[in-house]
Amino acid sequence: MKVGIIAAEMEGRRTGVGRYLEGMLRGLERWDHGGEWHLFFQGDSFILPAVESGLAVPHFSGHRGSRVVWEQVVVTQFGKWKRTVQTPGLHRKIPFVQTVHTFEDRLLYSDAEPAPIYTQDKKNLIVDNYSRWRIADPLRFLQSVKNIYGAQSRLDDIIYSALREELGQRSLSEIVSGNRAQIMQRVTERSRATALGLGIEILDVRIKRADLPNENKKFVFDRMRAERARQAKEYRAEGEEAALKIRAGTDLQVTRLKSDAYQKAQLIRGEGDAEALQIYAEAFQKDPKFYEFTRTLEAYEKTLGKGTVVVLPVTTEFFKYFGTGKK
């Protein structure tokens, strides 16, 4: 008989529980000459139920010396399913006739290769995603994908199909700045419904990166520059329009101020001229000859400037104060 310890290694075999189990397995070897016995652990405890032959074995827990490896087993006989073992304990199989297929019972991680996806607005994205999943039905898993590598290949296709269908209904702006959690929740639900037929339960699907292809980046950047230039031109036009309004308002205000000032200046000038005429009139009434003489001198000063040539006879009224001075 062969004694196999699956899903754990008995490192502390010299402890009390370890010596008890060692003696028990040796006793099974003497009692069952053609059987092969396997001891399954789960967590930090193990269970030894009654075996097929009716031997009752007590229950133990808390074995400190065991190293846990989470696994589940499908037992087949000549290629046909016999039973599925997903609980800890001692189980029996027939050597050379029955085969044990071991699968992980832990949470598994799958990282897909980046793949292109077209959005609703015809944008091409390179999406890099990953998923977390577990084997829910070992028998169906064995029948459909055989092993982990086959499962990862099928999962990549399933998740990529769900991503392409979901992201294809949304624009690039919604994918980049929208509700990413809601999108990935729908992708997870679509993928989970398909993967259950393979005995796989998909727990979560996430996008690590969503980039534009290298050949499209230049065109996107050029378009972004053109868009920013257009916005800058609009802002400049709006600024120039506001500046014109401000200048027009200022010019109108200046014109009004100048008009008011000119009006006031003309009034003051008119009042001054009137006062000057009144003074002249009073002076003329006091001494008409002196007034005529001063006014004539003022006329000479304004008319006969430096370099002025006047051709008139001296006997004219304008030059009556020229000559001999006798009149």
Cβ-proximal residues to 92 (8 Å cutoff; 6+ apart), any chain: 32, 35, 36, 37, 38, 51, 52, 53
CA distances from 247 to 51, 213, 252, 256, 296 (A): 101, 50, 8, 14, 51
Residue with tokens 């229950």: 59
The pLDDT of residue 145: 92
- What pLDDT score was predicted for residue 280? 77
Q: Using alpha carbons only, give the angle 13, 18, 21 rounded to the nearest 5 degrees.
A: 125
Tell me how far apart the alpha carbons of residues 217 and 319 are, in angstroms, rounded to a whole number: 97
Pairing relation of β-strands 80-85 and 98-104?
unpaired
CATH fold, domain 108-212, is Tetrahydropterin Synthase; Chain A (3.30.479)
List the domain boundaries for the chain.
3-104, 108-212, 217-286, 287-319
- pLDDT for 49-80, tens place per residue? 333 333 333 333 333 333 345 788 899 988 88
**What pLDDT was estimated at residue 30?**
55
User: Which pLDDT value is given to residue 28?
Assistant: 57
**pLDDT number for residue 57:** 34
CA 47 to chain CA centroid, Å, is 51
Along the 327 residues of the chain, how does pLDDT read in single tens digits? 333 333 333 334 334 555 555 566 566 555 555 555 555 544 443 434 333 333 333 333 333 333 345 788 899 988 889 888 888 777 777 888 888 898 988 899 999 888 888 888 887 888 889 999 999 999 999 999 989 999 999 999 999 999 999 888 888 777 776 677 888 899 999 999 999 999 999 999 998 887 777 766 677 778 888 999 999 999 999 999 999 999 999 999 999 999 999 999 999 999 998 888 888 788 777 777 777 777 788 877 777 777 777 777 767 777 777 665 444
Q: Token digits for 238? A: 């709006």
pLDDT of residue 97: 87
**pTM given for the model:** 0.50
Q: Which two tokens stand for residue 120?
A: 């609703």
Q: Are 76 and 84 in contact (CB under 8 A)?
A: no
Please give the pLDDT value at position 29.
Answer: 52
Q: For tokens 């609009």, what's the residue? A: 234
